[in-house]
Amino acid sequence: MAELSIADLEDELKKVREQKDIIGELRTLRCLGSAFQKNRQFTKAGSCLSRALKLVKENGSAGDRAVVHASLGCVYWEMAQLKKAMTHFQSALEIQQQFQDAPGQADILTMMGISCWRKCLWEEGFSYFRKVRELCQIHASTTANTPKYGEYAFLAEAIERGVETLQNRIRMGREQGSPLKILQPLFSMIPLYLFTARKNEIDPLLREAASLAEQLQKNDIQEAIPRLQALIAKW
């Protein structure tokens, strides 16, 4: 479906419902949910995609179900409702594994890894990141060492918005002169830089994170930094 405004999509949704066009309704709900999400209207996006999930479970293919689960998980991720996000990502991953969809698996595992990182679950985050790297290296259908996205391009868009949000929080932390308010978003942002082709910008972030973690006696972050450096070096 061509890029339409929210108003146009809402009109289209009314039309396909009147025509009892289930496939058209599913497609339009997905587009409308995406449009709301890009506009940061996450509650409305979640409502559209929840309806799409109900329809796709009744009328769609397994592949469609995976995409809708991932879409809904992505909305919850942007809303910082990470438990719900992980539930939908896991459902999408299980479907992809049935079809041996390696690129799709890498995309979802990326989101699962950065979700764990955001929750300060470093060990789980490392586990997911290693799986992403293995999939990207083994399967020629993915680009060399990064997720492919493709039909999951909405995940990449969400990560970019996540980078923007964290950059704003870091800026506010600097303005307030708060090392803690700098460190938390800064360390959360590093994996997002890795998955948005900003690898060459990571070293200064790691050095600043190491200095702040030492200053604040954040032992868990201090221990995670060299492991993260080693992982990035192999990427």
DSSP string, 30-96: HHHHHHHHHTT-HHHHHHHHHHHHHHHHHHS-HHHHHHHHHHHHHHHHHTT-HHHHHHHHHHHHHHH
CATH: 1.25.40, 3.40.1440, 3.40.50, 3.30.1390. Which one for 101-235?
1.25.40
> So what's the pLDDT on residue 138?
73
Provide block-wise average pLDDT over 10 residues at a time, the chain (235 residues): 84 95 94 95 97 92 93 96 97 90 90 95 95 81 50 91 96 97 96 92 96 97 96 88
> What burial class does residue 40 get, using C-beta atoms within 10 Å of its C-beta: 0-12 exposed, 13-18 middle, 19+ buried?
exposed
> So what's the pLDDT on residue 140?
54
- Give the C-alpha separation, 222 to 195, whole Å: 22
- Give the C-alpha separation, 219 to 225, whole Å: 10
- Domain span(s) for CATH 1.25.40.10 in the chain: 1-100
Q: Determine which helix (DSSP H) or strand (DSSP E) holds 27, and give its type and residue range.
A: helix 22-38
Within 10 angstroms of residue 100's Cβ, the number of other Cβ atoms is: 9
> So what's the pLDDT on residue 141?
47
- Give the C-alpha separation, 82 to 85, whole Å: 5
> So what's the pLDDT on residue 146?
52
Give the closest residue to 76 by CA, choosing from 115, 39, 110: 115
CATH: 3.40.47.10, 1.20.140.10, 3.20.20.100, 1.25.40.10. Which one for 1-100?
1.25.40.10
160 touches 167 (CB < 8 A): no
